[in-house]
Amino acid sequence: MVNYSGSGLDRTFAALADPTRRAMLAMLRKGSRSVSEIAQPFPMSLQAAMKHLDVLSHAGLITRKKEGRKVACALRPRPLKAATRWLKRYEQISEERLDRFEAYVEQLQRGESA
Amino acid sequence: MVNYSGSGLDRTFAALADPTRRAMLAMLRKGSRSVSEIAQPFPMSLQAAMKHLDVLSHAGLITRKKEGRKVACALRPRPLKAATRWLKRYEQISEERLDRFEAYVEQLQRGESA
């Protein structure tokens, strides 16, 4: 299901293509959490939740650190930044299109032929 | 390989998890292109390239329109915007962390104990 080879962006986007994994990352925005705290809200086995954490870890989106008897997971925002940078190149396109569309609407409002 | 059910974000991120598909979208940033123009630079059969275009189309990232004997593909930036919006929530986190890190370095520079 998830691409384990491929580049950083391949792994980041593949990891983000699952709602459970996105929800896990959202939990970690507030700070680090133990594996059991992260797994708790999801209607799945601890084993299944840990597989999702494996994918996130392999994509470099989280770090895992043993703290006594618990494993603490923390968000690692760098790969998300790279993904955002890739996507931002397209943001401009929507804005350019919107600008053109607005100019067209204004032209129509002034009663000029389009 | 690609999630055909799931939500919009699932499909968008799954579609972006492949370098060929990202390169195809990058080509379309400059304007619409025919299927054969898009397929041409890639070392794969037209059939394989069309499968990638199917994934992009299913994720709503491109539109396909028959123009005479050709099929023109165009970028549809809306799903990319939704993905950017999701990712931007994490941008703030990196910035907050960087701010804290800078404050810490300044503290060290002033010779205060950390």
Distance (Å, whole) CA B7 – CA B108: 47
Q: Provide the pLDDT for residue A100.
A: 74
Chain B residue with minimum CA distance to A17: B10
Distance (Å, whole) CA B36 – CA B49: 9
Distance (Å, whole) CA B91 – CA A65: 23
Give backbone dihedrals phi and psi of A71, rounded to 5 degrees, phi first.
-115, 120
Per-residue confidence in pLDDT tens, chain B, 114 aa: 455 556 899 999 999 999 999 999 999 998 999 999 999 999 999 999 999 999 999 999 999 999 899 999 999 999 999 999 999 988 877 667 767 777 777 788 888 754
**B→A interface, C-beta within 8 Å:** 1, 3, 6-7, 9-11, 13-14, 16-19, 22, 25-26, 29, 75, 77-78, 80-81, 83-84, 86-91, 93-94, 97
Smallest Cβ distance to B17: which of A10, A22, A77?
A10
How confident is the model over A32-86, as pLDDT tens digits? 999 999 999 999 999 999 999 999 999 999 999 998 999 999 999 999 999 999 9
Token pair, residue A93, equals 């396109």
